[in-house]
Structure 1
Amino acid sequence: MTVQDVERQSFTEAWEQWHRQKEEVLAGPHGFLAITGLHWLSAEPTRFEDAPGAWSTTAEGVVVELADGEALTVDDAVVRGRHGFGVIAERDSRYVTAGDAVIEVAKRGGHDILRPRHPDNALRTSFTHTPAYAPDPRWVRPGRFLPFHEPRAVTVGAAVEGLEHVYDSPGQVEFELGDAVHRLTAFNGRTPGSLMVLFTDRTSGVTTYAANRSLQIAAPDAEGRVTLDFNRAGNLPCAYTDLATCPLPPAGNRLPVAVEAGEKIPLERGGQP
């Protein structure tokens, strides 16, 4: 086996581990595929079939009123009767349990929502895998982070019609692809200093999910250099279920080339194995 063969095998194994871990989170007992409802809370206490209690949003935050015989576990403590969760910050979530279900209490686009997660949800139990392009080192591209003088608030649409998200963008990522230079507006990533880009390209709606894909980028080095591994362009939860509020890419984040790398349209949305 040549050095190139060893490197290619190592590259493929690292990608497979990334993809496997991503699938495990998605299809975990209380992952996104376990969600059974996306409930928008109002001032009127309302009951839902997939969660105990009557839920409402008030000036003091989200409130649940539990009937006799109903209970939730909140921060390892069993609560009954009336319980207030306080004001939940935008894009934050709190998780409580009810039997084998987990109830997500969250705020998205300025609205308080409830998303119960049940392990026996059919979308989860029938899940097998997400099709993807074979990993290929040629889709690993060097780039450069171009920071803004100060972060800019960027408003984007959402998978839910009429909903908007506002993110702070620290700058743009510049890279070459298809004999041209491209720039994508970036948001903050999962870890301090890291970046995340939402984008579409010419495969969107053809072999990849139409609305968006996301790519995590490690923190720039001292010279601002970054690496974009499009093999790890992944689906957001909205690619699998309508019960997600995923953000759409910012204006200008559509690449005029076909990025034939990363995850494809899920089988649940008519994708091909």
Structure 2
Amino acid sequence: MSITTRTGTPAEQQWQTWHEQRAAEIALPYGPLALTATHWLADFPDGHPDGVPGHWKADGDAVLLRAAADDGLTVDGAPLDGTVRLGADSAPATARVAHDGRRLPVLRREGLWAVRVFDPGSEARRTFGGIDVFPYDERWLRPGLFRPYGAGRTVQVHNADGRQRGLGLAGELAFTLDGDEHTLQAAVEADGTLWAVLADATSGTDSYRFRFLRTPAPKDDGTVPVDLNRTLLPPCAFADHFICPFPPPGNTLPFALRAGERNRIAR
């Protein structure tokens, strides 16, 4: 059994553990690398998305799936022979519908329904060689301040699939670097943590074209640590069929953020 020897400060060792865990999560059988298709049901009025058995139809606040036993679909682990009403799935690994080892989670965005295909045998998963990262540097660990807007805002931004969708924003995340203040428009997740979509001077050249940043939930006074060493690749860096939002206006940092994840490594 091999033992990983950790070096550096405690903060750097924690970052190394985070990086290893991220790579392991990405490589899970139904992780981002397994996504091979996102089929918007509105694009298939006949109810038959390419390569997906059964008849799929949006029906208001649900999707109706009709299949015969020889279609080979299962719902909640049991063969489907008839019709079932489906809601949106919370995660691919727990999707109700499966077919021949693939998971078929149902997705809803802005009132539109889609079915996705997660295949553990995808080429992206087979050729995954890890995540390239910039070296850890304590310079990128900054004290931050979250300034909530008086009311939430929604801005239209391009998504990775070429469509425009609304991006909800709850406030500004501010931090200083080399004496200058920088701000990012951020969303507040259900658990209170912050999420921002950003670009910087390395985007598209020395790193992926845009990245995500997540922070803990701010304290009551708005203070929050901003660890840019944990800047993340978006899901669409691992598979082409995600619909990641691009950075909203004002979220392109004017410096080279040589921190966090850079790109997916293919072997």
TM score, norm. by length of structure 1: 0.85
Give SS of 1:129's match: strand
Give, as a single letter, the amino acid of the residue that structure 1 aligns with 2:60.
Answer: A
Matched with 1:261 is 259
Any stretches of 5+ residues in structure 2 without a counterpart? 1-5
SS at match of 2:204: coil
C-alpha displacement at 1:131, in angstroms?
0.5
**Alpha carbon RMSD of aligned pairs, Å?**
2.4
Say whether the 8 Å CA contact 1:92–1:107 is kept in structure 2.
no
User: Conserved in 2, the CA contact under 8 Å of 1:219 and 1:226?
Assistant: yes
Contact 1:186-1:198 at 8 Å conserved across structures: yes
Match runs of 1:228-239 below 5 Å: 228-239=226-237
Aligned pairs (5 A) from 1:136-151: 136-151=137-152
Q: 2:3 corresponds to which residue?
A: none
Is the aligned partner of 1:200 residue 2:199?
Answer: yes
State how many pairs are aligned: 258
Q: Does the aligned pair in 2 maintain the 1:178–1:257 contact within 8 Å? A: no
1:152 matches 2:153: yes
| Match among 45, 48, 51 for residue 46 of structure 1 | 48
Instruction: Give the Å deviation of 1:81.
Output: 2.2
Q: Which residue does the alignment assign to 2:122?
A: 121
Structure 1 pair 23/7, CA: closer, same or farther in 2 (3 Å)?
Answer: closer
Q: Deviations over 1:68-105 (max 9, x none)?
A: 4124333344432222215x49x998712223211111
CA distance in 2, matches of 1:31, 1:217: 22
Query: How has the CA–CA distance of structure 1 residues 106 and 116 changed in structure 2, closer, same or farther, with 3 Å as cutoff?
Result: same
Aligned partners of 2:55 and 2:66 also within 8 Å: yes
Q: CA deviation at 1:55?
A: 2.0
- Matching of residue 183 in structure 1 with residue 183 in structure 2: yes
| TM-score scaled by length of structure 2 | 0.87
Alpha-carbon separation, structure 1, partners of 2:91 and 2:113:
10
Q: What secondary structure is seen at the aligned counterpart in 1 of 2:163?
A: coil
Partner AA of 1:111 in structure 2 = L
Cross-structure match for 1:33: 33
